[in-house]
Structure formats: C-alpha cells, structure tokens
Amino acid sequence: MIRGRPTKLCLVFATLLGALVLGGCEGGQSALHPAGRGAEDIAQLFWWMWSGAALIWLAVMAIAFYATQARPEAHSEAGARWLILGAGVAFPIVLLTVLLMYGLAMMPGLSATADADLRIEVAGEQWWWRVRYQTEEGEAVELANEIRLPVGRRVVLELSSPDVIHSFWVPSLGGKMDMIPGRVNQLLLEPTRTGVFRGVCAEYCGSSHALMKFEAVVMPVDEFDSWLAAQAQPAQPPQDEAARRGMQAFARNGCSACHAIRGTEADGIMGPDLTHVGSRLTLAAGILGTDVDDFTHWIAQTHRIKPDAYMPAFDMLPEQELRDMAYYLSELE
Ligand SMILES: [Cu+2]
C-alpha cells in the first residue's frame, strides 16, 4: 500500500511533464510536425528512437520489479551473468549498430545538394538574416528575416556568416546547419506543404542571439513566382506628402549609409535592404510587426528592443520625423 503511492505520484508527474513538453511542440516551430522532406526523415528517426527507448525502459522496469518485488529472493549467479552479457553487452551492440546504419543511410538524402531547383544565399548577421535570391535577369533580390520557398521544390540554401558562427534551423522543414565565417555550407530544404514556419538561430552568437528569428514562408509555386517578381521591382516612389517627408528624413539622418532602398539614392549594405520592408511579416528578425507603430518603436528604441544591435537608436529625433520615416517605410510594399 505504502509502496504503491510514490510510484503513482511519479506516474502522474511524468504524464503531466510529458504533456507540457509535447504541448510545446505544436505550431510552426516543431520538428514533430514536419512540413519538409528532411524534417520528415528526422522525425521518423526520432520516433524510432523514442519508441525503442520507451520499450527498453519498460523492459528494465519489468526486470527490476521482478527481481525486487515478484521474486525478491537471491537469484543464481549464472543467470545474472547471462543477463548482463545478453542484455547489457550483446543487445546494446546490436541495437546501436542497427540505429547507426539507419541514421547513416539517411544522410545522403539529407545532403544531396547537386540538383537544386532554386538556390538562396542566407547570411547570419548579428542579429538578423540576410537573404539573397538570384533572379533570372541576373539581378540579386535581397531581403531580411524572411525566406520564401516554393512548395514541392528542391531548394538549396547557401549558408554563410561574415563574422561569428550562427546556426540555421527551421525545425518544421529540415535539419540544422552551422553558418561559419569563411565557408559556404549547403542545406537542402524540400517543403511538402504550404504555411508559415518559424526559424531560429540555434548557436549562441552574442547578446541578442535569442532575438534572431525569421519566418520561412512556403507558397504555391505560381504565388512564389509573382512574389519574387514583385520583390525584384525597385521601391515605389512616395505616394503622398507624409511619405515624401519620410523619405527626405531617411536621407537627412544618414539611414542610407547602412540601408539600401533600390530605386533611390540609399545604397548602404551594412543593415537590411529596405526596398520592400513594408511587405514583410516582421521587423528586426521576428521581434516586431510591420505597422507604423512598430517602425517608430524600432527606430527610436532600437537597443531597448534588441540590446547591442548594430544600428544607432534615433530617439533624439522629433516624434513627427520618426513617424514620417516609419510611415514611408511601412508603405514600401
Ligand atoms: Cu545567431
């Protein structure tokens, strides 16, 4: 009676913990809800390993129960030796070899990057993602913190970094790959369904490492093509007086030293390309939305939002000037 209670408590606790942990796996950032070929393979490997571990755990518990409760008297030494040799040496060797083979056999498929339908360069910056598409006309389209992919196509990401090591990971779409200065690592993604999936930096890269996310948007092929064609266009000129004031303030305050807006004088390369920044899903690498308030907030409170970001905060500017710039940028769709 008394023996039973802690076991029951443990069970309840384990179930609750399990529910909590698995509950965190819902949504667009889950390796257990794969939306890409690589992620499917990896999830399958995970479930094999999980089920195997669960079975072995149950067997060990059963043997322990048998030896301590069901037949607590002394067991023969010969029997114990066989158990150790069989279950402790032979069984793990066989099982781990099988698992290793299974895992190794999976690797060529995950890293076959030769025949890609599309190549996208992605650089890990401190603390955002520079994304570059090479269009057929030869002009590069650059954007930030958003990677759009056509569903069902083999896309190879060419991953690099100008300074420190980052790690690129969209759990729902595929495996994780480091971005290492001086190298280009290739990662194959083959999305199998449309949707918006969350990506993160999975390697500590400095103070704002945790504020470095992005959206991977998987679209139907024709929608993807028209999206890319729209992104290749230069920025639309200001449509009204407030936007014109915003554009002038942008030039006057030196924003163009770091930011490019194709079709205008702004051609800085240190920060994100802002040509179509108003069309993006997030600002500042998944931290803010993209309405006028978000832009104003970012431009004035840069370091409150993202400590140590390589952009000066402009909180000394008059409110109206900030809002004009914010409005101008939010209209760049
Ligand atoms: Cu990083």
How far does residue 42's CA lie from ligand 1's centre (Å)?
23
* Banded pLDDT at 24 (limits 50, 70, 90): low
Domain interval for residue 298:
241-330
Count other Cβ atoms within 10 Å, centred on residue 9. Answer: 10
Q: Read off the pLDDT of each residue in 317-325 and give the average, rounded to a whole number.
A: 96
User: Where does a domain end: 192, 214, 232?
Assistant: 232
The verdict on 63 and 162 lying in the same domain is yes
Share above pLDDT 90 across residues of the chain, in percent, rounded to a whole number:
75
Share above pLDDT 70 across residues of the chain, in percent, rounded to a whole number:
92
Residue-wise pLDDT tens digits, 200-249: 999 999 999 999 999 999 999 999 999 999 999 999 999 999 999 999 99
Domain count, the chain: 2
Question: Is 99 inside any structural domain?
Answer: no
Question: Is 83 inside any structural domain?
Answer: no
How far does residue 130's CA lie from ligand 1's centre (Å)?
12
| Of the candidates 205, 216, 29, the residue with the CA atom closest to the CA atom of residue 127 | 205
Cβ neighbours of residue 37 under 8 Å, at least 6 residues apart?
Answer: 109, 174, 190, 192
Cβ-count burial of 197 within 10 angstroms (0-12 exposed, 13-18 middle, 19+ buried)? buried
* Residue 56 C-beta-side C-alpha neighbours within 13 Å: 12
Residue 11 has a pLDDT of 64
Question: Is 16 inside any structural domain?
Answer: no
CATH at residue 255: 2.60.40.420
Please state, in angstroms and rounded to a whole number, the distance separating the CA atoms of residues 285 and 277.
12
The verdict on 271 and 130 lying in the same domain is no
Question: Chain-wide mean pLDDT for the chain?
Answer: 91
The verdict on 223 and 253 lying in the same domain is no
Question: Is 42 inside any structural domain?
Answer: yes
Instruction: Kindly report the pTM of this predicted structure.
Output: 0.87
Please state, in angstroms and rounded to a whole number, the distance separating the CA atoms of residues 287 and 210.
10
Please state, in angstroms and rounded to a whole number, the distance separating the CA atoms of residues 110 and 176.
11
The verdict on 127 and 268 lying in the same domain is no
**Least trusted range by pLDDT, from 98-112, 171-185, 274-288:** 98-112
Question: Is 90 inside any structural domain?
Answer: no
The verdict on 158 and 42 lying in the same domain is yes
* Banded pLDDT at 71 (limits 50, 70, 90): confident
How far does residue 211's CA lie from ligand 1's centre (Å)?
9
How far does residue 219's CA lie from ligand 1's centre (Å)?
26
Residue-wise pLDDT tens digits, 27-67: 688 888 999 999 999 999 999 999 989 999 999 999 899 98
| Most confident among 20-24, 31-35, 318-322 (mean pLDDT) | 318-322
The verdict on 41 and 184 lying in the same domain is yes
How far does residue 305's CA lie from ligand 1's centre (Å)?
16
Please state, in angstroms and rounded to a whole number, the distance separating the CA atoms of residues 176 and 167.
7
Cβ neighbours of residue 205 under 8 Å, at least 6 residues apart?
Answer: 124, 126, 127, 164, 165, 166, 212
Q: Read off the pLDDT of each residue in 256-283 and give the average, rounded to a whole number.
A: 96
